[in-house]
Amino acid sequence: MIHPKIPLAQTVIQLCKLKNIKHIIISPGSRNAPLTLGFSNDEFFKCYSIVDERCAAFFALGIAQQTKEPAAVVCTSGSALLNYYPAVAEAFFSDIPLIVLSADRPQHLIGIGDGQTINQKDVFEKNILYSANLKLDLKNEKGLSDKDELPMFKSLENKLERILGLQQSIQSYNEEEINKAFNLARFSKGPVHINIPFDEPLYDTVEELSINPKVEELDIKTVKIDQAELKDCIDEWYVSKKKMILIGVLPIGQIEQQWLNDLANDDSVIVFTETTSNVHHKNFFPSIDKMIAPLEEEDFKNLQPDILISIGGLIVSKKIKAFLRTYQPKHHWHVGEKNANDTFFCLSKHIVAKPNDFFSEFLPKITHVAKSSYLETWTAVKQLRHKRHLEYVKQIPFSDFKAFNLILKSISNKTILQLGNSSTIRYAQLFNMNPSLKVYCNRGTSGIDGSTSTALGCAVVSERQTTFITGDLSFFYDSNALWNNYIPKNFRIIVINNEGGGIFRILPGHKNTDNFDYFFETKHHLTAKQLCEMYGFEYTTAQNELELEGALKPFYNKSKQPRLLEVFTPRTENDSILLDYFKFVK
C-alpha cells in the first residue's frame, strides 16, 4: 500500500482509521498532498473530492448529521481553511461531529510573505470544541550537518526540541493531541480543528509505515440525574396546573413513545413541537405560530405556563420566544446533555441528561396528575385554528403559502426532508408534518449558506430518498453544491422562486422602494434552468396551482438523473397572503 513518507501525515491517517473515521472530504491543494495521498490510497476510507471548501464542509456536515459519526474535511493552507468557518459554526451550535484537517506551512515559512499563508493556529477561536496545533516532524536525513541546518532549527524553541525530546517527544505530543480532538468530536458532539504543518517534499511516498500510533480511548463516565433535584422537580410538578413542554431541533427517536404518551394524556400538560423536533402525537401542538400569533393579552395570560420544560436545539418560532419572554413561567427547566440556553431569560434548572433518560426516571414517579383544563382549553383552540387553516388555503390565490401546502402533502412517506432557512423553514412550521418523515434544517446558526450542500451530504449516505426544499436566494448562494460527482439519482430539490428574499417583505421595513428592493429583498430574475443543464439535473417548472400539482405527481418517481422543480410565485403578493393568514385563523 502507498503511504505518504512524512510521519506526521501517517499518524493523522492511521489514527483516523483506528478511530473508524471513514468519510473524508478532500479539497484540492498542494500543501495537503501528504494527507490526500494517504487517504485516497487506502480502501478503508470513502473519499470525496469537492473543490469549494465551503460546500465541502457542509457536505461533510450532512454526512455526519446522518451517520452520527465524525466526518473529516481536508484542505490546503491559507484562505482555504477560512471557507470552512460557516460549517464549523453550524456544527458547533448543532452538536454535529465535524473534523477539520488543515495543512499548514512550517513556522519558519509563516509571516515572511509566502503565498497561501495565514495565521491558522486557533483560527476558529470560540466556535470550536478543540483546536490541536501539531508539531512539525524533525528531519533526520543522513549527512545533515550543523552547517546545512534547516531554518526550522534556527529558533530557540526548535533547538530545545532537538536537544531534549527530538522526534519521539514530538510524535507522542502529536498522537496525544489527535486522540484528544477525535474523542471530543465523537463524544462531545461537535467540531474540532487539527492544524498540521508539513515541510517539503510533499509528494514522496513509501510502501511501509514508519510509525505505529497509539489509540487513546475516552473514559466516559455516566452522569446520573441528581435525585434531590429530581425530587424538587416532582414536588413542583404536583402543585402546577399548567405545564408546557417545548421541543426544538431533535434527531428522530430520542424519546420513547411511552413517555410521549404519558405526557399527551396529562390534562395539565401541553406539548409544543417544532417541525425539526421529529416528535409526533395527536394530542401535541405542532404549528406553534398558528396557535400563538392570533392571541390577545388575556389569552397569553391563560396560556402562560407554571413550568416550562425545553428540550432539543434552537427554537425557530419567534412568536413563542416573544410570548415566553413576556409571560415567563415560574420555572424553566432545560433537559439536555450540553448547554442550556437561557432563551426566555428565566432558566431555573439545567437537568444534565438525555431527554429519554430524564422522562424514564421522572414520569414513573408521578403517581397522580393535577386536575386542570389546560390541555382541554388549548386543544379546542387548536381544532379551531386547524379548521380556519383549511378554509384559508382553499380561498387564497397561488402563492408561497399555497405552494407549501401542495408540496408538503406530496412528499413520499419515509422521505428525509431537508429544509432551507429563512422563509422555507417558517412556512413549513405552519403545516402539520407527515410523521413518517425525518426533518432536518441547519438551525445551529440559521444561515442560508450551506443548506444545499448539507442536504447532498445527507443524501449520499442515506438509504431513504432525500428531498430538499429551499428558497431562491439560498439555492443560488450555495449553487456550487451541485459541483459534485456524488449526487444520487433519487435526490430531489424544490426551489421556491419568488425573485428575491421574500422573508424581508414579512419583516418590518419600507417595502416597495428602490432601496428596499435592491439592498434587502435583492430582487432578481434568475432561474435554475442553466445550472440544471450544466450539472445534469432534470428540470421542471410550475407557475400556478394546476402546473404544480401536475409536476409533483411524477417528481419523486425513479429517474436516471436527480431532479429539480422550480416553483415561481408572485413576489409582491406572498407577504400579504401570509400576514392575512394570522388574522384569518383567529
pLDDT tens for the 586 residues of the chain, in order = 899 999 999 999 999 999 999 999 999 999 999 999 999 999 999 999 999 999 999 999 999 999 999 999 999 999 999 999 999 999 999 999 999 999 999 988 888 888 788 889 999 999 999 999 999 998 743 333 344 445 555 566 666 555 556 888 999 999 999 999 999 999 999 999 999 999 999 999 999 999 999 999 887 777 889 899 999 999 999 999 999 999 999 998 999 999 999 999 999 999 999 999 999 999 999 999 999 999 999 999 999 999 999 999 999 999 999 999 999 999 999 999 988 999 999 999 999 999 999 999 999 999 888 799 999 999 999 999 999 999 999 999 999 999 999 999 999 999 999 999 989 999 999 999 999 999 999 999 999 899 999 999 999 999 999 999 999 999 999 999 999 999 999 999 999 999 876 666 666 666 767 766 666 767 778 999 999 999 999 999 999 999 999 999 999 999 999 999 999 999 878 889 999 999 999 8
| Overall number of domains in the chain | 3
Same domain (yes/no): 309, 354: yes
Whose CA is closest to 338, among 190, 540, 516? 190
Given this model, what pLDDT does residue 521 score? 65
Whose CA is closest to 56, among 23, 94, 13? 23
Given this model, what pLDDT does residue 143 score? 33
Whose CA is closest to 100, among 176, 233, 193, 195? 193
Same domain (yes/no): 118, 258: no
Given this model, what pLDDT does residue 111 score? 82
Q: What is the 3-state secondary structure (H, E, C) of 489-541?
A: CCCEEEEEECCCCCHHHHCCCCCCCHHHHHHHCCCCCCCCHHHHHHHCCEEEE
Given this model, what pLDDT does residue 147 score? 42
Same domain (yes/no): 172, 258: no
Same domain (yes/no): 332, 460: no
Please indicate, yes or no, if residue 216 is contained in any of the structural domains. Answer: no
Radius of gyration in angstroms for the set of CA atoms belonging to the chain, rounded to a whole number: 27
Which amino acid, residue 291?
M
Please indicate, yes or no, if residue 466 is contained in any of the structural domains. Answer: yes
Counted residue by residue, the chain has a size of 586
Same domain (yes/no): 152, 47: yes
Q: Which residue has the cell 391563560?
A: 302
Same domain (yes/no): 273, 351: yes
Which amino acid, residue 328?
Q
Q: Are 31 and 201 in contact (CB under 8 A)?
A: no
Q: Are 310 and 346 in contact (CB under 8 A)?
A: no
Q: Which residue has the cell 413576556?
A: 326
Q: Are 193 and 57 in contact (CB under 8 A)?
A: no
d(C-alpha 244, C-alpha 547), whole Å: 42
Q: Strand order of the sheet with strand 563-568? A: 438-441, 416-419, 466-471, 492-497, 563-568, 538-542
Whose CA is closest to 4, among 25, 29, 32? 32
Please indicate, yes or no, if residue 389 is contained in any of the structural domains. Answer: no
Same domain (yes/no): 374, 425: no
Boundary of a domain, candidates 315, 345, 379: 379
Same domain (yes/no): 543, 406: yes
CATH of the domain at 455: 3.40.50.970
Same domain (yes/no): 234, 270: yes
Same domain (yes/no): 164, 28: yes
What residue numbers bound the domain in which 552 lies? 396-584
Please indicate, yes or no, if residue 222 is contained in any of the structural domains. Answer: no
Q: Are 281 and 261 in contact (CB under 8 A)?
A: yes
Given this model, what pLDDT does residue 145 score? 37
Given this model, what pLDDT does residue 146 score? 42
Q: Are 483 and 536 in contact (CB under 8 A)?
A: no
Same domain (yes/no): 366, 401: no
d(C-alpha 403, C-alpha 430), whole Å: 13
Consecutive H or E run containing 23: strand 23-26
Please indicate, yes or no, if residue 451 is contained in any of the structural domains. Answer: yes
Please indicate, yes or no, if residue 384 is contained in any of the structural domains. Answer: no
d(C-alpha 163, C-alpha 318), whole Å: 60
d(C-alpha 411, C-alpha 434), whole Å: 8
Whose CA is closest to 103, among 150, 49, 21, 36? 36
d(C-alpha 122, C-alpha 195), whole Å: 8
Please indicate, yes or no, if residue 386 is contained in any of the structural domains. Answer: no
Same domain (yes/no): 371, 418: no
d(C-alpha 46, C-alpha 24), whole Å: 6
CATH of the domain at 286: 3.40.50.1220
Please indicate, yes or no, if residue 387 is contained in any of the structural domains. Answer: no
Backbone φ/ψ region at 61: left (φ over 0), alpha (ψ -120 to 50), beta: alpha
What pairs with residue 272 in β-bridges? 246, 285
At 551, is the secondary structure helix, strand, or coil? helix
Supply 509's cell numbers: 421595513
Q: Quick one: 81 exposed, middle or buried, by C-beta within 10 A (0-12, 13-18, 19+)? A: buried
Q: Which residues contact 541 (CB under 8 A, 6 or more apart)?
A: 527, 529, 547, 551, 565, 566, 567, 568
